[in-house]
Amino acid sequence: MIPLPDYPQGRELLRDKVVVVTAAAGTGIGSAVARRSLEEGARVVISDWHERRLAEKAESLAEYGEVHAFPCDVTDEEQVRGLIAAAVERFGRIDVLINNAGLGGSTSILDMTDEQWSRVLDVTLNGTFRMTRAALRQFVEQGGGGAVVNNASVIGWRAQADQSHYAAAKAAVMALTRCAAVDVAEHGIRVNAVSPSLAMHPFLAKVTSEELLADLTEREVSGRAAQPWEVANVMVFLASDYASYLTGEVISVSSQHA
């Protein structure tokens, strides 16, 4: 097993930028990228549908920098517009949107209901679309520039049982990323995505069987799952000026066997 590296120090990659992160109240990639953004010098707005957990997360992140919390359900267009408006009212602008909101589940397509299919796509794909559209409109109104970073998944490329809805949504997020990047390139706006394989955190361990986690870990050349902050590092890079010539790309954050 490849050992876990030391947690990296911030290098001010996002100094003075305003970053909005969705689904940041948990223990996974969203909260990790919010913390990394703060450590890289950004002012951060975190959002989630669960108000109590969101407030607790904002309190715990405050030691790393300036962070504000605004509740938002990405399936509600009014709340999506409200989140962007609240961030702009607080800081005068936004510079980065990180779309982390997503919903999974394990159901064979033989047993999958319309409701299960629609719910996963509404959060994972439509929510990403709504947030991206709102942020891009704000970037254009500000005069251009800005970056969107979407959270996709290797499951958008590779087959896995019982994941038809989630895989379809994540594959569509990749396509959305590429096409949106072309639409807004003339405004100096970049749209990219990361595609993680297995990022271990307490909630995932709680809702996933030990057998499945062992199987997924076995597919990793590194012999271990990624830590959420390892995925967050790549998202921060894509949000930063170091990625100024990258747009429309989906970066695999994975050590899975080809």
Active-site annotation, residues: 166
Query: Residue 138 belongs to what H/E stretch?
Result: helix 127-141
Query: Residue 68 belongs to what H/E stretch?
Result: strand 67-69
Query: Residue 69 belongs to what H/E stretch?
Result: strand 67-69
Interior/surface letters 219-239, b for 16+ CB within 10 angstroms, e for the rest = ebebeebbbbbbbbbbbbbbb
Do the Cβ atoms of 151 and 197 come closer than 8 Å?
A: no
Q: State the Cα–Cα distance between residues 249 and 178, nearest whole angstrom.
A: 7
